Structure 1
Amino acid sequence: MVDLKIEKEYPSDRAKNAARIPRNVIRDTALREGDPVLIQGTKRTVSVIKPLDIVDPDDSVRLDSYTRWNAGAELGDIVSLESVELKPAELVSIEIADSKGNRDEEITNELVGRVVMKNDIVPISTTEEPFVHAQLIDSSEDLVQVTIDKAQPDECLIITEETQITISPAEDEERQNR
């Protein structure tokens, strides 16, 4: 386990659930690029490791706003990171904050390959070329927020093509306004 201070994500990592950590941490621990990592703030979430640029501080981790929210942490907070084993998700029930049109198939396709935990908020791109340009991430027309409402098993998961995914509208205004 390693404790690191949260810094803002690189623009190219916006809404991608990357945990950029120092190269010396990758070298000196069991954490490896591309591996899942459990992030513990006031809440827990899971992310994927990528290396920091050499010029970044050796005591920092760069997380996007969704990952920070899911971990219950803010810029400048210290979070703990540890290696975690993912389980294939059998069932995932999501709530969608903005259901403009029927996007169920697009959303389901975008979720495959994502690492998640119950209660995570996951940004989904609904453009033809998801996440190609950073400015698309901030466009409400091209980004849909979904909440992982239920997950089986209740662990750190990876959504696969075999995962049964159910989609429903968000039930309360708090989730719709995140």
Structure 2
Amino acid sequence: MAEISLKVDSAYPTDQGYGRVRLDPRSMELLGVAPGDIVHITGERTTAAKVWRSTTTDWNQEKVRIDKYTRANAGVSPGDRVTVSNIENEVPAVFVELTPPPEIPEQFLDGNNFDAAGVINFPISLGDILPIKTHLMGNPVIEFKVTALEPENACIISPKTEFEINDIAEFEGAKRITYEDIGGLKAELARVREMIELPIRHPELFETIGVEPPKGVLLYGPPGTGKTLIAKAVASESGANFYPIAGPEIISKYYGESEQKLREIFEEAEAKAPSV
């Protein structure tokens, strides 16, 4: 089995939700794969993805472009390193059990709203988040979790794969705000990531050099410019819990009650650290 270590970068906008990874020709040659082959992506966990060729601007940079769903399945964020390995024997799935998020519309159970053709030849691993396109207004994509897979080493959905939807909605869905959801603001994102994401994901670096990491960042600007969206994206990509605090929600006419509400929020955030 051939494997290489590559740096993770964000996916092209057209690749979101298709289970694709973009590799340059040299990486594909080292792995012995071609466009359309399935590879394993290993970060905190291992998932499967389909190889596509990257654009010439990404060649010879030792990086792999991965969409937000595959990154979530591998437990990585942009800037992390992953191990990409070839799969010598691509085993098709015979049976897949999917667990829906609790807010799934009941209409989805109608077969006319399930785009089965959209998941044929889709790469799959046990425990993955599987984005399934629907024909429902307001719910173009619903994220399921793969809770059972036969055989367990299967890596691709075939036209003969049987599906079963688990009626126990224990899965909360991905609900991830990622950097791809933010248009522009590249300079602002880079600065915030350096100050917040790095200390959260790699606190040992600051402990080693004896430097106190930043505890907070002030974002200012007119309403609707993306301040809260940046905070949500950084928390999501860093694996931190996010606690939004709106002024009107904590203000009280009674003395000391506002302070008590703030204390409770910060105590919960501290108990579930890391938190933003």
Q: Structure 1 length as normaliser, TM-score? A: 0.84
Task: Find the partner of 2:165 among 163, 167, 170.
Answer: 167
Aligned counterpart, 2:18: 16
How many Å apart are 1:122 and its aligned residue?
Answer: 1.1
How many Å apart are 1:103 and its aligned residue?
Answer: 2.6
Aligned counterpart, 2:210: none
Other structure's SS at 1:163 match: strand
Aligned counterpart, 2:43: 41
Which whole-Å deviations, capped at 9, do the CAs of 1:37-78 have from their partners, x for residues lacking one? Answer: 001101000000011111125210000010001011111110
Q: Higher strand share goes to which structure?
A: 1
Task: Find the partner of 2:75 among 72, 76, 88.
Answer: 72
Structure 2 alignment gaps of length 5 or more: 177-276
Aligned counterpart, 1:131: none
Q: Which amino acid aligns with 1:155?
A: N
Alpha-carbon distance in structure 2 between the residues aligned to 1:21 and 1:175: 28
Alpha-carbon distance in structure 2 between the residues aligned to 1:110 and 1:40: 25
Distance 1:8 1:65, change over 3 A: same
Other structure's SS at 1:159 match: strand
Q: Which amino acid aligns with 2:127?
A: N
Aligned counterpart, 1:118: 126
Other structure's SS at 2:139 match: coil
When the two chains are superposed, the root-mean-square deviation of aligned CA atoms in Å is: 2.1
Aligned counterpart, 1:63: 66
Moved more, 45-54 or 104-113: 104-113
Contact 2:71/2:77, CA 8 A, preserved across alignment: yes
Q: How many residues align?
A: 168
Aligned counterpart, 2:147: 149
Structure 1 alignment gaps of length 5 or more: 129-138
Q: Which amino acid aligns with 1:53?
A: T
Distance 1:46 1:87, change over 3 A: same
Task: Show the 5 A alignment for 1:74-153.
Answer: 74-84=77-87, 85-97=89-101, 98-104=103-109, 105=111, 106-127=114-135, 141-153=139-151
Contact 2:18/2:122, CA 8 A, preserved across alignment: no
Q: Which amino acid aligns with 2:11?
A: E
Contact 2:129/2:144, CA 8 A, preserved across alignment: yes
Alpha-carbon distance in structure 2 between the residues aligned to 1:38 and 1:145: 21
How many Å apart are 1:177 and its aligned residue?
Answer: 4.7
Q: Which runs of 4+ in 1 moved over 6 A?
A: none
Larger Rg: 2
Which whole-Å deviations, capped at 9, do the CAs of 1:127-170 have from their partners, x for residues lacking one? Answer: 49xxxxxxxxxx95211111111001111322222222101245
Percentage identity across paired residues of the two chains: 24
Which one scores higher on RCO, CA 8 angstroms, separation ≥ 6? Answer: 1
